[in-house]
Amino acid sequence: MWLIRRTRPLGMRDGFAIPIFIRNLQYHLTTADAYSDGAIDVWDFVDRSLFEGKLRSGWVWPQPPDGATISIHNLGSCICQGGEWFRDKADIRDTVSEAIKLNNPAMIQLLDMRGSDTEIRDNVRCAKLGLANKWPVRRSADGSSVPGREVPIFAVTGGKHVLTRAFVFADGTARIGAVGPLTTVDGVFKEIDSGKLTTTIPDGVRLEVEGLGSFTPQKGSWFVKAPERLKELRDLVAQLAGKPEAVQLCREALQQYESKPSESDRQRLRETYEAVADHLRMYCGDMDSKDGPIKRILYGDSSSAPSCPTAPKPD
């Protein structure tokens, strides 16, 4: 697991992200985020008692069966075969409890949702707590916390394939995996260029999933290209330095062009759009049209427009 922080809902809290699967049609590789106030985020916020219910119902699931589809947000999906999983529900329960205790040793002032994670507002049933804005953090030698970002990636070394995460931090450091040694962001970029870190693997290899087990993927559909993952990471590093997100710059350029079209504004739109990683370009528009209007402005209806893979909705 790795250290995370949120500032909403309910104010700033530290926690730990614990790899799990959520069973919702497919088996979605994600995390149970356990915070110091006892709030646990498993696609919605619950307290410890409600989390027990999520485990009993199978919503939180540590062992996808063979033949199931495993979905990995911001990477792709595949069919699970030959799964060997070393965590069970009891282990997940204990790990979540320990994660809360690490940040709140006395286990005081813990969230109590009184039996339900929803409530009625204006005759509409709503979640009691809103979505979290979480990010990974790293504690430096002086005890301060360094904010970061992370993306899923495959590490390939000596024929071994590991599904892990690439972490980059605001001080220029980076790490591969939750407990990997500290390196630099440039070091991570070089490993992507060299193929030691990649976004696709062949069917039939044995894939280790950090923190959960291993399986043999079949019918893999990996929609992120390695150069585009590198572009995404460079954008995340820029955001950590206080610069605007590439997607936001593109949205602003689109608004500027639509308010008063000109060739210079069209060129600016092209530059900002093509600066966004392929698999994130759909977020440059609205939820319905995605980046379709931008493509028509820049490339017309011709087939020469750059291809942009269809990614699943965020977990």
pLDDT per residue as tens digits for the range 28-41: 999 999 999 999 99
Q: At what angle do helices 263-274 and 246-259 cross, to 10 degrees?
A: 160
Q: Percent of the chain at pLDDT above 90?
A: 89
Tokens, residue 313: 């909705």
Q: Percent of the chain at pLDDT above 70?
A: 95
* Statement to judge: residues 198 and 285 lie in one domain: no
| 81 close to 73: Cβ distance less than 8 angstroms | no
* Statement to judge: residues 71 and 149 lie in one domain: yes
* Statement to judge: residues 249 and 221 lie in one domain: no
Quick one: pLDDT band at residue 142, thresholds 50, 70, 90?
confident
Question: Of 173, 197, 230, which one is at a domain's C-terminal end?
Answer: 230
* Statement to judge: residues 146 and 185 lie in one domain: yes
| 29 close to 210: Cβ distance less than 8 angstroms | no
| 82 close to 203: Cβ distance less than 8 angstroms | no
Q: What does 160-211 look like in DSSP terms, one character per residue?
A: EEEEEEEEEETTSEEEESTTPPEEEHHHHHHHHHHTSEES---TTS-EEETT
| 222 close to 199: Cβ distance less than 8 angstroms | yes
Give the length of the chain. Answer: 315
Model pLDDT, residue 306: 54
